[in-house]
Structure 1
Amino acid sequence: MAEISPDALVPRATGPVAAVYLLPGAQTRVLKVYPQPLDRRTYNAVEVEQSKLVGLRSAASIVRVEALDDLPDGRTGLRMEFCPQSLPDLVANGPLPIGDVIVLGQILSSVLAEAHEVGLVHGGVTPSNVLERPSGQPALADFGMALRLRFPRDLMDDAAYTAPEVLREGELSEQADVYGLGAVLYLALTGQSPFPARTGESADGVVLRVLREPPPEVSGRDVPPALSGLLMRMLAKEPDDRPEAVTVRREFEELLTAGPAEDELDFDDFSEELAAGRTVPVATIAAKPKKLVAQKQRKEPKKSRKGLLIGAAAAVALVAVVPVVFQPGQDDDATPPPAPNPTAASTTPTASTTIGTPATSAPSAIALKPPQDKGTSVVLSWSFPQELDEYAVIVAEQGAKKAIVGYHGPKTSVTVPVSPGLLYCFQIQGIDGVGMYLSARIGIRGATCVGQR
């Protein structure tokens, strides 16, 4: 462990268990300091947990412990990347756009599903642990049981996001992780917790409602019934009635693949109004009338509420649109659009006890091979020098008002159904924890694909 002077730390935030400080000279790193030093058992358990997290395919969506540092007074600090905002900050002005909520659900459920497969439980999925990187991409922080057992927190602080069995018995489990994720996504979708405190209600009153009452079901013309139904199952009172994280991931992938119905409004144009129209029963709202919420949202400049996943949503959210001009008879080759040039995360100073491996930079272009036109389907395949977390296939059909976005996980090939005789353009987008990567736009049957994303 490296030794750090407390005088050099810049206070950032104080939580129920630990305090967070900015590290001097390392604006991209923070130190989370616990009130007491780690004993050898806890230290070893943290190392084991973090080594497992490094090996997950979705590790880029986790805020991992990079190093352990000692303070002169004996306290221990965990060195991690700095993420400027958390989910409560982002929903302060109201719900997130529906596409962001679905992408957020897919990313976080992927993290939990893979962690559960290797025997890891998060133990505290709450809004404050869903962070936004400077790039706009989400990440799940505070992962693991070792520090929770060493420094127990007061469950009353996050009772509205805590599974009933945890409030009753204190037992953390995979099923409790799923409940916590459901409550977090409920906040993102509605702007409030499943059990917001009522005027004059005590913390005990909130706990009783979590234990006894079902959460209000979300309605709204932009809310897919499948999404609302999935959240209700994730928030079931009994652990055995909740879906496993791998099932949650699959259902979010299906929501991404389905895309918006043809008669739905363009979420990109009307996301503020649609979000304002999402409702829960009035009895659950405390001291914030729905009309005032809606008015406040409409006054906010659209770009000021960028929300989570600005980088990720461009790759796989339902609102992505690729303007395409079809010009039959010209070359099928397309010129790739400008792509972000992501930079590698800062390397952790070598004086600390480093856990895992630092992120590395990656090329910015996905190589999309010439599509294989089978008449009623097209086989697409592509390559990239490293494995990415998610890919999305964008398909623009001649005569269609907007492109179709299909989520395809980490696969690098897919068969897309097409109509005989129509022209098509295709593009691949991919994301990881660093940035977004694009392929060229390639057409078939004589189509030329032009325009900017």
Structure 2
Amino acid sequence: MTIDHPLDDLVPLGDGPVATVLAGVAEDGQSAFALKVFPGPLPRRVRGELDRELARLRPLAGRAPLLVPDAVDALPDGRAVLRMALCTQSLTELVGSAGPLDGGDVLALGEAVAVALAALHGAGVVHGGVSPGNVLFGAEGEPLLADAGTVLREAFAGDAGPPGYRAPETLREAVVDERTDLYGLGAMLHFALTGHPPHGEQPSGDPAGYVLRILNEPVPRPARPDVPPELLDLVGALLSADPAGRPIDAAYVADRLATAGTAPVPAAAPPSERALVAVAGAPARPKSSGRIGLLIAVPVMIAVVVAVAVILLRDEPAPLVPPAGPPPAPVPTAAPPAALVLDAPADQGATVELTWHADGAQLQFAVVVAAEGAPSVTRFTGQERTLREPVTPGLKYCFLVQATDGVHTFQSASRPIRGATCNR
């Protein structure tokens, strides 16, 4: 099968270790999809193995938080393509823009990924490369584990993920199994807690020394007195250099994460200043105070972001920023602040200075940046009311700000630069 979607309609989203991710709009013009393009064709043997692997994965998608390709295609030049639902962002992007996550959010995120791994392992599939880059967020903010399976990783060498998230035995002996997936889960949780891999970022000039550090040095315990100690203990066990020292399986980890944090954090821990909403999950779980809670509790904000991407990808003259998504369901609480105003952007050529103001002190903000001919991006700024955004000189842009008080979601009017045409 060869994909017949015009290549000119596809927009680059990013490059991974091997593949390039593009986005497009379905024929109905109302939904978007992602294409993961590999550097070459699939030999018949590999295609057969991939079809069998996907046959085991697809029944799991409705029961576990997994992003499974809808189809295997090829470009006219023969390069292999996986087609799947378009997600809003990755854990790498979320932490990169908003910083390490709160303990309650890490518990919810970790439980979702552990449930996904348990489903994979129960079906006889090894993920083979768990890392923050393949933990994605769906249109309603739900975490999803993507890129499961080893067939394509083996077919395209180099698709095993960054070394900082790979188990010591994988680096030393190329072992890939369920226990290396558990190490990847621990490394992903460590990143969510700290903003960096377990052994720090890889130095640009010393890759061999970095691998030796992973093979020989223990992982430092994250300095997070504000999170449940049992969460830190579990992350430490997952990152054991000895595979036998890791938890027995992913289902056990999911159960541990579901019940972790039921005891109060020690009084000495600093209180969160970003309390927002309760994380979905067990009733005894502490309230979330960070960005995962924001994504789970306020799907309207994410729906608007996805709608922006769909509008930008259409092959027709269209405003850069779309109308708001469907309004949130009525909630019997106080009305949201009356106004959220984005000031006129200050275009400085390579950057744009954005400032905004709104009634209410305890608000969380996100800025939607829409560039002509490119997918929109969202910058979560927490309670900050300013943003300096890098832009391409000469390219048209639209900006809008969204806010939530934990119950309501509302947004500013959009603001253009360089003659862009924007909807609200």
Q: TM-score, normalised by structure 1?
A: 0.58
On the 8 A contact 2:65/2:115 being kept in 1, the answer is no
Q: Structure 2: which amino acid aligns with 1:83?
A: C
Aligned pair 1:151/2:156, yes or no? yes
- 1:232-287 Cα offsets, whole Å, 9 max, x none, are 1101111111112122112112216x2535958796x5348xxxxxxxxxxxxxxx
Gaps of 5+ in 1: 273-302, 304-309, 322-337, 347-363, 365-451
Inter-CA distance 259–114: structure 2 relative to 1 (3 Å threshold): farther
Alignment of 1:126 with 2:126, yes or no, is no
How far is the alpha carbon of 1:15 from its aligned partner?
1.7
RMSD of Structure 2 on Structure 1 (CA):
3.3
Distance 1:108 1:199 in 2: 28
Aligned ranges for residues 356-435 of structure 1 at < 5 Å?
none
- For the residue of structure 2 that corresponds to 1:223, the secondary structure is coil
Instruction: Kindly indicate whether the alpha-carbon contact (under 8 Å) linking 1:97 and 1:271 is maintained by their aligned counterparts in 2.
Output: no
Match of 2:22 in 1: 21
Q: Secondary structure at the match of 1:91?
A: helix
Where does residue 140 of structure 1 map in the other structure?
145
1:216 shift after superposition: 0.3
Return the alpha-carbon distance in structure 2 between the equivalents of residues 58 and 8 of structure 1: 30
Structure 2 counterparts to residues 257-336 of structure 1, below 5 A: 258=262, 260=264, 269-271=272-274, 313-316=279-282, 318-319=286-287
For 1:339 and 1:228, locate their aligned partners in 2 and report how far apart those are by CA, in whole Å: 28
Letter in 2 for 1:118: A
Corresponding residue number in structure 2 for 1:115: 120
1:45 matched to 2:46? The reply is no
User: Which residue does 1:179 correspond to in 2?
Assistant: 183
Instruction: Look up the match of 2:90.
Output: 86
Question: In 2, Cα distance between the equivalents of 1:84 and 1:161?
Answer: 23
Task: Give the Cα separation in 2 of the matches to 1:339 and 1:168.
Answer: 43
SS of residue in 2 equivalent to 1:125: coil
Q: Is the 8 Å Cα contact of residues 53 and 59 (structure 1) preserved in structure 2?
A: no
Q: CA deviation at 1:154?
A: 6.4
Partner of 1:75: 79
Instruction: Using the aligned pairs only, state the percent identity.
Output: 39
State the structure with bigger RCO (CA 8 A, min sep 6), 1 or 2: 1
Q: Conserved in 2, the CA contact under 8 Å of 1:98 and 1:271?
A: no
CA positional deviation for 1:158: 1.1
Please state how far the C-alpha of 1:131 moved relative to its aligned partner.
1.0
Q: Which residue of 1 aligns with 2:259?
A: 254
Matches of 2:54 and 2:68, distance apart in 1: 7
Contact kept in structure 2, 1:38 and 1:76, CA below 8 Å: yes
Stretch of structure 1 that moved more, 196-205 or 36-45: 196-205
CA contact (8 A) 2:136 2:145 kept: yes
By how many angstroms is 1:58 displaced?
6.3
The amino acid that maps onto 1:3 is: I
Q: CA deviation at 1:9?
A: 2.2
User: d(CA) in 1 for partners of 2:202 and 2:77?
Assistant: 42
Moved more, 87-96 or 184-193: 87-96
Matching residue within 206, 209, 214 for 1:205: 209
Quote how far apart the aligned CAs of 1:110 are.
0.9
TM superposition shift of 1:87: 1.1
Report which stretch shifted further, 90-99 or 206-215. Answer: 90-99
Deviations 1:90-133 (A, max 9, x none): 11242101111001111111111121122110000011111122
* 1:216 has 2:220 as partner: yes
Give me the whole-angstrom Cα distance separating, in 1, the residues matched to 2:299 and 2:136.
22
* Bigger Cα displacement from structure 2, 193-202 vs 183-192: 193-202
Summarize deviations over 1:383-422 as a string: whole Å, max 9, x none: xxxxxxxxxxxxxxxxxxxxxxxxxxxxxxxxxxxxxxxx
Are residues 1:96 and 2:101 paired?
Answer: yes
Counterpart position of 1:241: 245
Show the counterpart of 1:56.
60
Task: Call closer, same or farther: CA 1:12–1:139 in 2, change over 3 Å.
Answer: same
Query: Which residue number corresponds to residue 3 of structure 1?
Result: 3
Q: Could you tell me which amino acid in structure 1 is paired with residue 217 of structure 2?
A: E
The residue number in structure 2 matching 1:420 is none
Amino acid at match of 1:17: V
What amino acid sits opposite 1:318 in the alignment?
A: P
SS in 1 for 2:210: helix
Counterpart of 2:17, as a letter, is P
Select between 217-226 and 76-85 the one with higher mean Cα deviation.
Answer: 217-226
Q: How big is the shift at 1:186?
A: 0.2
Structure 2 unmatched runs, 5+:
290-296, 308-328, 330-406, 409-424
Q: In the alignment, residue 94 of structure 1 is paired with which amino acid?
A: G
- Distance of 1:84 and 1:262 partners within structure 2: 35
